[in-house]
């Protein structure tokens, strides 16, 4: 009903608008004074967590993309190797898992059968299992040794938005906690990262307040047949998520690529007028990644692509090669996904609306897939 949507046209619009709270509430009261993470239900001891030498995320869909974002952060902070495995592939890959492996499942609903079966298999193999979940008391958290709830509030629209941001937030908390437990050089920086994480809800709101041009672009593009998305580092999973949103609700062929892969194939797809979103890393990203992505934009622009560039405030290097620039506030590289995904969500929603589609109830999809 209209009342349930709180004055928004759709649940998806409402849930996109709720993202500052989804992140803020997931952080709220989560750390004790000494930085220790408050897990909602914990049947894993501190010693067991200290002993972890491998982390495997299992998830499907959007939750798998939040896991991919988390991989970059957790490996950087903890130096523990992190894998992300699609839950429905996990059991069949003869996974290397033992009692020192932490298997983290990520699921909004907590009921996805593929993910549940992966968790059960991990338990059979003796792994420690932790569930990042948005639904209190759901099956996956009940089956797991520990749960870290995301507090995004109920998500109704089939296409996941606020749960995605909350999942990244929760996984970052887990990474920071593990880093602290293990001591080492990063432990000192964990506090600074927490401080930045706490500033994100405000920056997310700023992005939401700037969406007018993105909505206009979506309205112009109702006839578009194909859209490509490029990103690098944490921008790569954001490219995948941007493409997924467009497929799910606007039924447009969309593909996300790692920007570095462009020359190994995707550049062949570029023809005049092809719209390409590019998620540009912040200029202070290590290893000159910013420069490399700017040169990708230049390459595809030279071949006639319509470059729809998502860049941080103050990044002037993108200006000569961008057909459109969508600005997000400055932040450190690992925080950027919480901002850069938002224009892509809003774009998909408004493109679906421009095509006269019901964004909340896309054809063929279910909010929670409880069969294998
Ligand atoms: C379905 C939904 C997706 C969701 C995926 C995983 O396919 O349509 O939006 O990302 O399931 O759901 P979960 O509840 O496990 O996060």
DSSP code string of 340-372: HHHHHHHHHHHHHHHTT--TTS-TT--SS----
pLDDT at res. 183: 81
Residue 303 DSSP one-character state: T
Best of 11, 65, 112, 165 to mutate for ligand 1, by most ligand atoms within 8 A of CB? Answer: 112
pLDDT at res. 4: 87
pLDDT at res. 264: 93
Answer whether 132's CB lies under 8 Å from 209's CB. Answer: no
Best of 104, 108, 168 to mutate for ligand 1, by most ligand atoms within 8 A of CB? Answer: 108
CA of 87 from ligand 1 middle (Å) equals 11
* Nearest atom in ligand 1 to 160's CA: 9
pLDDT at res. 35: 67
* Nearest atom in ligand 1 to 60's CA: 6
CA of 368 from ligand 1 middle (Å) equals 6
364 CB contacts (<8 Å, ≥6 apart)? Answer: none
Count of CB atoms within 10 A of residue 29's CB? Answer: 8
Best of 62, 66, 141, 155 to mutate for ligand 1, by most ligand atoms within 8 A of CB? Answer: 62
Q: Could you tell me which residue, 40 or 123, shows the higher pLDDT?
A: 123
By three-state DSSP, how is residue 59 classified?
A: strand
pTM flag (> 0.95): yes
Please tell me the least confidently modeled range out of 221-230, 242-251, 284-293: 284-293
Pocket of ligand 1 (CB under 6 A): 60-63, 107-109, 112, 115, 158-160, 365, 367-369
154 CB contacts (<8 Å, ≥6 apart)? Answer: none
Determine how β-strand 275-279 pairs with β-strand 306-312.
parallel
Percent of the chain with pLDDT over 90: 82
pLDDT at res. 212: 97
* Nearest atom in ligand 1 to 167's CA: 16
- Please give the torsion angle defined by the CA atoms of residues 140, 145, 148 and 154, in that order, rounded to the nearest 10 degrees: 20
Average pLDDT, the chain: 94
168 CB contacts (<8 Å, ≥6 apart)? Answer: 66, 69, 70, 337, 338
Mean pLDDT of 304-330: 97
pLDDT at res. 180: 86
CA of 6 from ligand 1 middle (Å) equals 23
Closest of 192, 131, 214, 133 to residue 166, by C-alpha: 133
331, HSE (Cβ side, Cα atoms, 13 Å)? 26
* Nearest atom in ligand 1 to 366's CA: 8
CA of 64 from ligand 1 middle (Å) equals 9
CA of 135 from ligand 1 middle (Å) equals 13
Q: Could you tell me which residue, 107 or 33, shows the higher pLDDT?
A: 107
Confidence of residue 370 (pLDDT cuts 50, 70, 90): confident
What H or E segment, with its residue span, contains residue 306? strand 306-312
Best of 135, 164, 368, 372 to mutate for ligand 1, by most ligand atoms within 8 A of CB? Answer: 368
Looking at the DSSP bridge assignments, the partners of residue 277 are 229, 308
**pLDDT tens digits along 138-192:** 999 999 999 999 999 999 999 999 999 999 999 999 999 899 888 877 767 788 8
pLDDT at res. 32: 76
Mean pLDDT of 48-58: 96
**pLDDT tens digits along 203-238:** 999 999 999 999 999 999 999 999 999 999 999 999
Its sign, for the CA torsion 9, 69, 203, 329, is negative
d(CA 93, CA 2) in angstroms, rounded, equals: 46
User: Taking the CA atoms of the chain, what radius of gyration do you get in angstroms?
Assistant: 20
Mean pLDDT of 85-110: 96
* Global ipTM: 0.95
- Please give the torsion angle defined by the CA atoms of residues 112, 362, 358 and 253, in that order, rounded to the nearest 10 degrees: 130
């Amino acid at each position: 009903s209209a009342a349930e949507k709180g004055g928004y046209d759709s649940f998806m619009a409402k849930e996109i608008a709720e993202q500052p709270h989804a992140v803020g509430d997931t952080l709220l009261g989560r750390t004790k004074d000494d930085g220790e993470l408050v897990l909602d239900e914990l049947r894993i001891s501190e010693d067991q967590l200290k002993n972890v030498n491998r982390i495997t995320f299992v998830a499907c869909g959007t939750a798998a993309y939040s896991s991919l974002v988390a991989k970059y952060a957790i490996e950087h902070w903890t130096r523990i190797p992190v894998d992300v495995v699609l839950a429905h592939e996990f059991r069949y890959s003869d996974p290397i898992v033992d009692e020192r492996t932490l298997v983290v499942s990520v699921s909004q609903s907590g009921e996805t059968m593929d993910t549940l079966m992966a968790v059960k298999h991990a338990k059979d193999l003796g792994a420690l299992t932790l569930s990042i979940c948005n639904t209190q008391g759901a099956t996956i958290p009940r089956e797991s040794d520990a749960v870290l709830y995301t507090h995004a509030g109920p998500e109704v629209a089939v296409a996941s938005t606020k749960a995605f941001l909350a999942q990244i937030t929760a996984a970052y908390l887990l990474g920071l906690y593990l880093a602290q437990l293990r001591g080492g050089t990063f432990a000192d920086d964990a506090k600074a990262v927490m401080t930045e994480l706490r500033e994100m809800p405000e920056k997310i709101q700023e992005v939401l307040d700037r969406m007018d041009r993105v909505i206009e672009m979506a309205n112009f593009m109702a006839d578009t047949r194909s859209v490509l998305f490029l990103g690098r580092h944490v921008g790569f999973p954001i490219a995948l998520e941007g493409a997924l949103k467009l497929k799910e609700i606007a039924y447009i062929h969309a593909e996300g690529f790692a920007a570095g892969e462009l020359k190994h194939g995707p550049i062949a797809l570029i023809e005049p007028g092809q719209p390409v979103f590019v998620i540009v890393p912040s200029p202070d990203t290590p290893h000159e990644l910013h420069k490399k992505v700017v040169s990708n934009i230049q390459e595809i622009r030279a071949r006639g692509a319509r470059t729809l560039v998502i860049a941080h405030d103050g990044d002037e290097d993108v200006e000569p090669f961008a057909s459109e620039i969508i600005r997000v506030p400055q932040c450190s590289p690992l925080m950027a996904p919480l901002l850069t995904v938002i224009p892509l969500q809003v774009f998909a929603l408004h493109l679906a609306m421009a095509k006269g589609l019901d964004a909340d109830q896309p054809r063929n999809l279910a909010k929670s897939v409880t069969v294998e």
